[in-house]
């Protein structure tokens, strides 16, 4: 492969990322979900705006176990985030697939939603 072909391939890849919204400025979309209550018995799901493609979820009061692909988390299955952590979701599929349960006590999450816009 020539240098010119590699440059052309790289340019095409960057253009594809830009066209798919993976490159650009991050713009908030609302409404956010503040004070989202999470228990250990029923998994919480997000109510993300249709235009949202990303989210930052702040773990406010206790540890949470979560999944991003729609499976139900348990005490032994999922990723644990602790108080003060920020869970970053980077696609619409992750927003739709997010499930979270409390590790022990009821907890509170704050979720803010975003989308990518061309700069």
Identify whether 72 is part of a domain.
Answer: yes
Identify whether 50 is part of a domain.
Answer: yes
For residue 96, the domain's CATH number is: 2.60.120.1030
Identify the burial level of 104 via C-beta atoms within 10 angstroms of its C-beta, where 0-12 means exposed, 13-18 middle and 19 or more buried.
Answer: exposed
Identify whether 89 is part of a domain.
Answer: yes
Identify whether 82 is part of a domain.
Answer: yes
Identify whether 101 is part of a domain.
Answer: yes
Output the tens digit of pLDDT for each of the chain's 119 residues: 677 777 777 777 666 665 555 566 889 998 999 999 999 989 999 999 999 999 999 999 999 999 999 999 998 899 999 999 999 999 999 999 999 999 988 999 999 999 988 76
Number of domains in the chain: 1
CB 88 within 8 Å of CB 109: no
Identify whether 13 is part of a domain.
Answer: no
Identify whether 16 is part of a domain.
Answer: no
Identify whether 9 is part of a domain.
Answer: no
Verdict on whether the full-model pTM lies above 0.85: no
Question: If we measure between CA atoms, which residue out of 85, 47, 49 comes closest to residue 65?
Answer: 85
Domain containing 65 equals: 26-117
């Amino acid at each position: 492969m020539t240098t010119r072909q590699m440059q052309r391939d790289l340019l095409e890849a960057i253009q594809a990322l830009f066209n798919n919204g993976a490159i650009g400025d991050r713009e908030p979309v609302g409404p956010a979900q503040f004070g989202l209550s999470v228990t250990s018995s029923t998994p919480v799901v997000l109510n993300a705006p249709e235009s949202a493609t990303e989210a930052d979820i702040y773990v406010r009061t206790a540890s949470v176990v979560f999944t991003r692909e729609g499976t139900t988390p348990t005490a032994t299955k999922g990723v644990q985030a602790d108080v003060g952590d920020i869970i970053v979701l980077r696609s619409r599929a992750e927003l739709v697939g997010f499930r979270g349960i409390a590790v022990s006590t009821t907890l509170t999450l704050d979720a803010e939603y975003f989308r990518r816009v061309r700069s």
